Amino acid sequence: MSDPTRPPSPKIIAVANQKGGVGKTTTTINLGAALASKGCRVLIIDLDPQGNASTGLGIETEDREFTTYELLLEDIDLGRVIQPTKTEGLSIVPATVDLSSADIELISNEKRSFLLYDALRQHAMDSYAYDFILIDCPPSLNLLTVNAMVAAHSVLVPLQSEFFALEGLSQLMLTIREVRQTANKALRIEGVVLTMYDARNNLSQQVEADARSNLGELVFDTVIPRNVRVSEAPSYAVSVLDYDPNSKGARAYLQLAQELLSKNIRAVA
Ligand code: ADP
Ligand code: MG
């Protein structure tokens, strides 16, 4: 790609952590919007049957005729399941609760771990219209999350600044290692981002110190503060950048996008 400010298209990142409520969906939406605001073309793939990313970006349930389910299980082309959002440069493949049966339906399918990989590569023209594809994973290390890790170049791990935050990480790292050994040798860890950070709270500081001493450079310098504007934005069906661009949350996600971009440019150079 001739534009040096952009990574080669598309960089595919799975946003994963098997704990629920740690900020996966919030990070997917707002990092996606922040990258879009910097001129990147971003596609979000909602891989969670709860469909929170879809709802948070204003895709009503009745408008989800073609979803991740059809993409994975019915061989419908990527181009047909993508929908634009109100944010320029940000599109989404929505999800519905239908996706919750995918795990069981796929058990006897030989290619069960490669469905998303195939969907993104078979129709390369559709996916190569993007600079970044962010996959919002479900709160589990199930077959859907494995599909995301097989399809992705890297995994971005939101870590809630809470007691026990680091406990689930070893299991997540084990799954990443298994995927590397079996299906995706090149899978990297993009980084760990601390979310819902409260600078006045000793616990947040403790979790940050533990994360940095255990994980070193894997932890992003940027931390995402706990910010009420971040939690309000989804009910207005937009990212926090559109909802309140001057909020602490919006500024933190812009900074995270910048850090991600500079890491990736370094990796390419
Ligand atoms: P996950 O996708 O990992 O289950 P979510 O992104 O849905 O987690 O976040 C869980 C809850 O925490 C949501 O209600 C969300 O609005 C809230 N939340 C996430 N990040 C922040 C933040 N930085 N500040 C305030 N609330 C947040
Ligand atoms: Mg979620």
**The two three-digit tokens of residue 166, written as one number:** 């680091």
Rg, Å, the chain Cα set: 17
CA distances to 29, 55, 76, 240 from 225, rounded to whole Å, are 16, 23, 39, 13
CB 48 within 8 A of CB 95: yes
Q: Which two tokens stand for residue 126?
A: 């559709």
Question: Taking all residues of the chain, what is their mean pLDDT, rounded to a whole number?
Answer: 93
For the cut 60, the answer to whether the pLDDT of residue 268 exceeds it is no
Longest dimension (CA), the chain: 51
Distance CA 64, CA 62 (A): 5
Find out whether the beta carbon of 64 lies less than 6 Å from any atom of ligand 1. no
Q: From 169, 189, 187, select the one nearest 178 (Cα to Cα).
A: 187
Give residue for tokens 């634009």. Answer: 84
Contacts of 172 (CB under 8 A, 6+ apart): 16, 17, 18, 141, 157
- Please name the residue whose Cα sits nearest to atom 17 of ligand 1: 231
Comparing CA positions, the residue from 89, 118, 2, 97 lying closest to residue 46 is: 97
Return residues with CB closer than 5 A to ligand 2 (ion).
24-25, 52
Domains with residue ranges and CATH for the chain = 11-268 (3.40.50.300)
Q: Whose CA is nearest to atom 1 of ligand 1?
A: 21
Per-residue pLDDT for 109 more than 50? yes
Distance 137 CA to ligand 1 centre (A): 14
Ligand number with the minimum distance to the CA of 196: 1
ipTM: 0.99
Q: What is the pLDDT of residues 16-33, one digit of tens each?
A: 999 999 999 999 999 999
